[in-house]
Structure 1
Amino acid sequence: MQALRERLPAYSGFAAVLAGAGLPIYIYAPKYYADTYGVSLTALGAVLFGLRLFDVVQDPALGWISERMGAVKKLVVTSTTVLLALSMIGLFAVVPPIEPIWWFGLTITGLFTAFSFLSINFYAQGIRKAGDGPKGHVRLAAWRESGALLGVCIAAVIPTLLMGVVADPFAVFAGGFAIATLIAAFFMWPEWTGRTKAASTQIKEIIADTTARKLLILALINATPLAVSSTLFLFFVESRLDAPGWEGGLLVLFFLAAACSSPIWSALAQRYGEKPVLLIAMVLAVLSFGYTARLGAGDVIPFAVICVVSGASIGADLTLLPAMFAKRMAVISPNGGQGFGLWNLVNKFTLAFAAVVLLPVLEQSGFDAGGTQQPGAALSMITILYAVLPSVLKLVAIALLVATTFEE
């Protein structure tokens, strides 16, 4: 009842919509355009990387704008949700009226610009919602990230569930997403408030803060394994495990495990502290990635178990790190816009790295997107990229976290 009075379910619903427009689109969109319109993986990776270079300028600017909207904040933020919905429809439900690669670039630019602006404002609003107590940030994060992970689950499974049922499953998904976005915007409307009385903090001041800088670096390294596995998930299941048709169910297992584990990690962090709990989760991730490197054709059940374990470990990453950063922003940047502009940029850069490096490397190894038979070199490469590389990156993140002392 207290959560209802505090309108925390509205944060869960809005987080679900944002999450549905984020990671699942990186999972589905490149493969969809490669399979449907014959766009090369290298070209798609180049477009996605170009967008991330654009974000270097865009996200800090959006953070600056978000801190200065004042009374028009409700109207501007809600209008941006409309852009998010229309961009999703354009990406998946409209036959490209121009060259597919250019239409992909145009619609996904609109999608991710709206996503960035909404994410910055949403997390900055969370700083004001959580109040001054440190436990308030972890509690809000549990509601917010649980909603986000459930949103990812739904967005991940709907297209595959609709395959064979409707003629164009991605068009139906896009239409349903647009409706859900408008509903979430309606319930979130009362929550949008203007800036606090505190002066806006400059980006250089946030980067100069030791704790904030450490958290940003940790987020960059720690999020990269998830970006790598997300980019290659569909290709790994379809080709390395030789299990076409299992993608949706396995994705749901992964994200459902993350969603269910989020409140547990939150409770453990409130009792034992964020850092030791996060370390345990990161070790679980390394073990799951390492075992995945042993899998081959037909190993669907072992991989399903891995999806549960690795999904649970990701639940800690997505719950605790944003809460830790929000707690620090409440101290040094109460308006939050600039800080979460940087946070958003760091997390999206990992996805850009995955797209621009992994997709061309996979294509150069002889991998044929949409093909029924893949050469041995391509299968070996996808295992290295999907399992071995994330293990190494996660070990680096663990070393960094162990060596880092955060200011409480």
Structure 2
Amino acid sequence: MRQATHRFSSLAFVIGMAGLPVYIHAPKYFVDVYGISLFTMGFIMFILRLIDVFQDPLLGIIASKTTRFGALPIALAVAAMSVGMIMLFAIKSPLSPSLWFFISLFMVFTGFSFAYIRSYAQGLINLGANDQIRLARWREVGTTLGICVAAILPTFFLLFADDGYAYFAIFFCVMAVAALVYVWPQFPAADKFESKTNSFLSLLSAAKDLQLRKLLVLALVNSSPVALSSTLFLFFVESRLNAPDWAGIFLILFFLAAAIATPFWTKLADVHGVFNILRVSMALSILSFFGASFLSEGDILIFSLICLLSGATVGADLALLPVLFARQIESSKIEPDLGFSLWNFVSKATLAFAAIGALPLLGLVGFNSSGPNSQNALLALTFGYAILPCMLKCISIVLLFKFIRGEGFISHA
């Protein structure tokens, strides 16, 4: 059991490195190096994010059909991430930079999504629902550490070389190969499920499961606050706090807090139950958003503490909600790859909705990301970054009590 959790953690580390940090580093890198306009970059990122959201159910079906090939599909996903990373940062674009960026990032996030779905599903298949908390403890620590490393390394390498991003891409490839070799035994060739489950009809059947839908609704609402705050984070730090140089430090504090807190949340969940720990973490999350709503220019120390608190609470969300979902998948006899493709779809949809909704609304009130703003514009920014997420988190707690405690989940939580 311990060896299995360590192996999945190594793959989670690589997945974390290829996830959110690429969306942070890659656009700025291509704008700086190739001079792509911000409008063009924004349009490309919007199209990529739409594809990223809606391809997950298809990837889930592909994952469910390829379990008989063992670890080979995971190897192809890791290879896609690695090649895409090299194309992004280590090879000068031989095509139109915009097209090269699109192809490269498409490879990275497609490999990322497939590896995420397949690893979560295989973790449930190998360890069963009862051991998901221990698996989550190691897996989410691996993921958040991967995010931290990817957030720091490019800047670190730039201290010693002009092509620091290229060294980051090479480092990623080395870690990806090492993780793949280590996790390989956890993906034995198997044909566990009947072929009739591997279809769009079975995906629709999974989506119709009432208890599963309730967890997906909870996940959608609960992840929306983080999606909003992530989308508006840089704007809030630069325009509300007037501390653009601190943005990287705030991000590191956030993800380090998530990595450190995750083992404690899962240990507590082992003793007190997932439901009880989630309601505590959600309440603390409300406190962090509520505190952020009162911040103004120069409140760096207070915001640092808020980053630590909010990061710690996100660690609980990342680790414990998938545990409930995995238990319901096993209870409902749903094919794990299909179930987790829906989970991934919902998680990414919140980011897309946040980007589509929050940024245009800020524009409507006259918010200027590169200059001075009126008091009304700053209030709108605070509302989107802190107050609205606080309200959504309150709704999440209500849904937690209604869906988990009130609908019979509590016996499993």
The TM-score normalised by the length of structure 1 is 0.89
Q: Name the counterpart of 1:268.
A: 268
Contact 2:69 2:190 in 1 (8 A): no
Deviations 1:28-79 (A, max 9, x none): 4445555665656665454444334434652222111212224423222202
Q: Deviations over 1:164-217 (max 9, x none)?
A: 553244333233222211211111111112445343371222222222111111
- Residue 277 of structure 1: how far off its partner (Å): 1.2
Q: Which runs of 5+ in 1 are unaligned?
A: none
* Aligned partner of residue 297 in structure 2, secondary structure: coil
Q: Over residues 367-390 of structure 1, what are the superposed CA-to-partner deviations in whole Å (9 max), with x where a residue is unaligned?
A: 666x4x443365444333222232
User: How many residues matched?
Assistant: 401
The letter for the 2-side match of 1:393 is: L
Counterpart mapping for 1:126-137 below 5 A = 126-131=123-128, 134=130, 136-137=131-132
Moved more, 246-255 or 235-244: 235-244
Q: In the alignment, does 2:343 pair up with 1:375? A: no
Task: Indicate yes or no: 2:168 matched with 1:173.
Answer: yes
Question: For the structure 1 residues 228 and 29, does the alpha-carbon distance in structure 2 shift closer, same or farther, using more than 3 Å as the test?
Answer: farther
The aligned residue for residue 393 of structure 1 is 392
SS in 2 for 1:278: helix
**Aligned pairs for 1:62-141 within 5 A:** 62-131=59-128, 134=130, 136-141=131-136
**Corresponding residue SS for 1:193:** coil
The answer for the alignment partner of 1:297 in structure 2 is 297
Contact 1:93 1:171 in 2 (8 A): yes
The yes-or-no answer on 1:253 pairing with 2:253 is: yes
The one-letter code sitting in structure 1 at the alignment partner of 2:388 is L
Aligned pair in 2 of structure 1 residues 182, 382: CA closer, same or farther (>3 Å)? farther
Decide which moves more: 376-385 or 66-75: 376-385
Distance in 2, Cα, partners of 1:31 & 1:239: 19
Cα separation, partners in 2 of 1:362 and 1:88, compared to 1, 3 Å: farther
Q: Identify the range of structure 1 (10-19 vs 392-401) with the bigger mean alpha-carbon deviation.
A: 392-401
8 Å Cα contact 2:60/2:340 also seen in 1: yes
- Residue 212 in structure 1 maps to residue 212 in structure 2: yes
Aligned to 1:230: 230
Q: 1:364/1:176 Cα in 2 relative to 1: closer, same or farther (>3 Å)?
A: farther
Equivalent pair of 2:57/2:341 in contact (CA under 8 Å): yes
Kindly provide the amino acid, as one letter, of the partner of residue 307 in structure 1. Answer: C
Q: Is the 8 A contact 1:42 1:363 kept in 2?
A: no
Q: 1:232 deviation in Å? A: 2.8
More displaced stretch, 151-160 vs 318-327: 151-160
Alignment of 1:328 with 2:328, yes or no, is: yes
Deviation by residue 1:352-404 (Cα, 9 ceiling, x = unmatched): 122333344445666666x4x44336544433322223222222222221222
Partner deviation per Cα, 1:215-263 (whole Å, 9 max, x = no partner): 1111111112212222332333234322233222221211111111111
In 2, Cα distance between equivalents of 1:358 and 1:30 = 19
Deviates more, 1:123-132 or 1:359-368: 359-368
- Of 162-171 and 246-255, deviating more is 162-171
Structure 1 residues 380 and 25: alpha-carbon distance in aligned structure 2, compared to 1, 3 A threshold = farther
Deviation at 1:93, TM superposition (A): 3.7
Q: Percent identity?
A: 42
Shift, 1:265, TM fit? 1.1
Q: Is the 8 A contact 2:241 2:299 kept in 1?
A: yes
